[in-house]
Amino acid sequence: MISAELPPATANPCDDCPWRRVATRGWLGPFSAEEWLQIVHSDIAIACHQTLKGGDGWDQPGVKQCRGAAIFRENRFKSPRDPAVVTGPRDTERVFATNEEFLEHHTSPLADFLVKQREEERAS
């Protein structure tokens, strides 16, 4: 996608954004915590999972960039080369400030237990 075609970000991180400090532990969707950190430290735009409706393309109506990832990038002083990839504003109270905080929250034994429990509940 040409950067000029990237949509704006959501106004705020969504309630279950994995970049928020109050996110459900281990609830990361299709990627591991380590993979998410690789993605957020790259120069690519990240879509808000709540705006994706049945697909993963930027051409979907209503899709927006993830404000939580944008804030995390600003908290980490990451500036993507593409100016259309949204960053900020800095907010270390609501959104993780470091890679270590994100990893600790999403990869702790408690996070593993909660994810396994949720998967078992869905299977039954």
Task: Report pLDDT digits (tens) over 35-70.
Answer: 999 999 999 999 999 888 876 678 788 899 999 999
For residue 114, the model assigns a pLDDT of: 66
| pLDDT band, very low/low/confident/very high, at 2 (cuts 50, 70, 90) | very low
Q: What's phi and psi for 115, nearest 5 deg?
A: -65, -45
Dihedral over Cα of 56, 59, 63, 69: its sign: positive
Q: What is the reported pLDDT for 54? A: 73
pTM of the model: 0.83
Domain of 48 in residue numbering reads as 3-123
pLDDT at 95 over 60: yes
Of 2-11, 39-48, 69-78, 80-89, least confident by mean pLDDT is 2-11
φ, ψ for residue 23, nearest 5 deg: -60, 150
How many distinct structural domains can be found in the chain? Answer: 1
Bin 106: left if φ > 0, else alpha if -120 < ψ < 50, else beta.
alpha
17 contacts: CB under 8 Å, gap ≥ 6 = 23, 48, 66, 67, 68
Return phi, psi of residue 16, to 5°.
-110, 30
